[in-house]
Structure 1
Amino acid sequence: MAIRATMGGGVVFLAALTMAHLVVDAFAASVHPLWPDLQDRLGGGPGMIQAAFLLWSLTTSASQLVFGYLGDRHRGEWMLWAGPMVGIACMGAVGLAGSLPALGGLLVLGGLGVAAFHPEAAAAAGQAMPDSRSRAMSLFATGGFLGQSLGPLGSGWLSEHRGLPSLAWNILWGIALVAMLLPWLRPASGASGGVRPSRGAALPELLRASGGRLGTLMGVGILRTLPAAGAPIALAFLLEARGVGNSRIGLVQSAFFGGIGLGGLACAALVSTRRERRVLWLLPMLAAPLLAACPVVVGAGMVAVSGALGLVVGLGLPVYISYGQQLVPEGPRVASSITMGVTWGLGGVLVAAIMAASDRLGQPDLAFGAFALASLLAGVACLRLPEPGRRPAPGTDPGPGPSPKPVPVGEAATRPPIPSPPALP
């Protein structure tokens, strides 16, 4: 990805990426209020719609690892505009699906478009403001979370008042908006004098140098993302069991995603380098009681608790994304694909299993208890996360002596990058 040579160009580029992120995630999240209606329309029972949710979750998230690796090894700027185009066209057409296979095809193709965009865009956002990487990631992530807030709100209202097929009209404005952003999303090396960063490490070198850290990122990330991935669908089925319509479901989900977006903005403004380690472990512990409260609140209280939960989750997500990029500097797109994608996909597998179990038991509130427990475990696990910059040489033992001074997450972006290992012939 070409890096803008001037600060002003970097800000404009970041703004374009953030707007594209908003649109992509709005279309991706628009399916959340529709799961109960899709189940009623297409049949197959709860098991089939849970399988469709799992397919969509894995495609939009786990496939990011492939796109992230390709972006680190080859030029991937095309993903910044082609991914959104495909994602918008397919996710916008979900309401037209007349069968479960058709729905599955749209979810897979749309999910691949969404997945292609995220790793390249996340790495580009960090490169747009390399001296303020955590702040840039907070602003970029906020665009996505605002999109996730607006998507369910719009699709819930439109599907309830105009029917599922009416959602396809959204494709027109979505494609048009991405087309307007295209001049700022295309490669800028020739126009701006930017230089593409060094080629990322080949897979064997990457695993040899950072395999343990990538595994840690994934394991902790799954626990951290369970509440964020599971809360929207759990809220939909909890409220549907109470006889609540799609508009109300979309409102509650939008409060959650809007809280995440507000949390991202608050992270950019309030979370300093010294506080980042504390944010990583404290916020998941604060989210646990809010998750436990969801099944017992009603009315406006549900909107308030959902928004507060999103705020707590949103404060920590950009820090973890930035942390992953600094922890694995030889593969920033791979790290981003894990913190923004793979963990959400594997978390989606657990969410589907938890939702299926609670549905069989006829107790949708049990899902929130499982998510609360996962959030507590995530907080404990974050206490043991390694420090970026503290990396002993391969095959050596740091011994009992004093450890090297850790590099804080926010400051790591300002240090000279670690040279990438040479590519295999």
Structure 2
Amino acid sequence: MDCKLSVFSRLLLPLLTLGLGGSACNTDDDGGSPFGTGANDEIGDEGSSGGDQGDQGDQGDQGDQGDQGEDSEDDQGSEGTLFDVGSGEEDTTGGGCRSIPHTPCDANTDDPFAAMGLGCPGEFPVTTSIDAHPDGLGVLQGFGSNDTFDPTEGSAFVVLSTGHVAELGDEPASPGQQIFNCNKWFTPGDGMNTATFPDPIEAQDVGGDCLANPQLVGMGDCSNTIEDQFSMSGFKYDYQELRVSLTVPEDAVALGFDVAYLTTEWPVFAGQPYNDMFIAWLEAPNWTGNVSFDQNGNALSLNSAFLALQDSDGTLPEFAGTCLRYGAGTPWLSSTVDVNPGDAIELVFAVFDLDDVNLDSMVFLDNFHWECEGGGGPSTVPIP
């Protein structure tokens, strides 16, 4: 079946006052989740230069998006430590303890935040903004010909892409043809500031463990998962971003969301050092950095251990009727991270081409929620 698509048609989404929830906290969670095991060997991405990034002006009244975060191009490898991500059994409830009651409001919507579970009537207020070309942003009700990519909350989810989402239903006819599908870059062309990120994102590793040494918070990426990969090129293009600012409810100690990463770069650039990347950056008093990465310290990309869906012979139902035929991706993954009740936080979801605009990648985002039991550190695991 062809993917069902409702393209979000505005470049500048006005500043929204939205909401997230009510009050009472359940206690049926079994605790934090460890990282899942990977499904493929480490693989890479393209190495040619050129192309463009979309016209990414400041969007509405969002707040700290003016100055560009400074990044380092030094390859620090795996310096620093990963994190205590728990040692218990993986939570199989699909989200664990939900501290904030929520009623989906994404039926027949083209609002990307409502599709993620944000801003439903009567729920907790948030502020949102978009820095993305409209051709790379949309709302889906499904993808492929089976239920792998059904929404995990409500009836829709967001797609954020470095290519044109209107082409998601263009299935390549044969292997190698996928490089011509979903791979149109955005105007205005070269000449954008591609070496830095919008505040507060910084590619620079903190070089240590922010959980063990809280003084490192605010010094860069607490996950130590961005710099090594980004510095292999040092240039990003077609940067696409969704951003939300909010205050953590008093009975919530963690937040979570679901994400899937898909790319047409596979297998053409497998084994090469350039990888389109997804970053979920949390800016909070207890953490500044990426919160979606695999157990090897790789951001979600062609290099991720979670890239389990590899359509080498063009038979995977997950990609039937889509431009991802002969490409690859992850299944739905669940990312969670601890937060402090009452803290003002910002969460930035960003996907971008690395090194050039050729061959594109996308993320699906759904099921933003609060939890009332923490896991000890950021955790990303496949959803059972």
- The TM-score with structure 2 as length reference comes to 0.27
What is the TM-score with the length of structure 1 in the denominator? 0.25
Structure having greater relative contact order (Cα 8 Å, sep ≥ 6):
2
| Greater percentage in strand | 2
